[in-house]
Amino acid sequence: MTGRDNALWLQFWRDRRTDFHQPAVNRLLAQFWPGLNPVHGSRVFVPLCGKSLDMLWLAEQGHQVIGVELSDIAVRAFFKENQLRPARRRVGKFTLWRSGILTILCGDYFSLTAADLGAVDIVYDRAALTALPEDIREQYVSQLQRLVPATATILLLTTEDIEAESSEDNATNIAAEVQDLYGEGFAIELSHVQSIGEFDLEVGDAGEAGQYKVYRLSSKTQL
């Protein structure tokens, strides 16, 4: 992200303009996570994690969870609101916050290295990709591919604008942008489509013409 985008994100948290934060665990995560057949104790990476309760849910399933978040306000709030007392230490350009099997690296995602992050089995992208400005998404995916091994599986949740899709039957199609960004290295499976407004779950107003989609991405090198 650019310095301007970083400053804007930090300002959102300082001003408490956090309507994008989900006050409950994402039901699509709970519904589709078992389909990944995750091994107990798998290490799950959550990029641009904010203070998402999804991380707590993943840890409750017995997984090691590591998120990365730019705002220290968000990181502090996550641990405080969940009554966790983390230890803190510096790791490269980041401050590492850890409580049990829950870890958040506070700093710029684009400054993260594979050595900082460590081993990753599964990536959980809870609409981080589609929350980013369109001109940054390719950089986001390139960085993700540098950070995680080719063997990692990705559970990708997106919010997509119906009007942005050219196909009339876009509800059953992989979004062109997802195909462009991930298609070379990953086999992409569209697992679920749901219109925004069907239930009050995620970011987005009920009146918007949009969809939630759930994708499972598996490395082509494993096929």
- Summarised one tens digit per residue, pLDDT across range 29-61 is 999 999 999 999 999 999 999 999 999 999 999
Lowest mean pLDDT among 130-139, 148-157, 206-215: 206-215
Torsion of CA 199, 204, 207, 213, to 10 degrees: -60
Domain 3-10+24-222 sits in which CATH superfamily? Answer: Vaccinia Virus protein VP39 (3.40.50.150)
Rounded to the nearest integer, the mean pLDDT of the chain is 84
* Its pTM surpasses 0.75: yes
Task: From 93, 70, 67, select the one nearest 82 (Cα to Cα).
Answer: 67
CA-to-CA dists, residue 155 to 41, 62, 119, 148, 152, angstroms: 17, 17, 17, 13, 10
- How much is the pLDDT for 133? 87
- How much is the pLDDT for 214? 96
- How much is the pLDDT for 208? 54
- Summarised one tens digit per residue, pLDDT across range 78-123 is 999 999 999 999 998 999 999 999 999 999 999 999 999 999 999 9
- How much is the pLDDT for 24? 84
Every domain of the chain and the residues it spans: 3-10+24-222
SS3 180: helix
Q: Is the pLDDT of residue 210 over 60?
A: yes
Give Cβ neighbours of residue 131 (< 8 Å, ≥ 6 apart): 20, 48, 159, 203
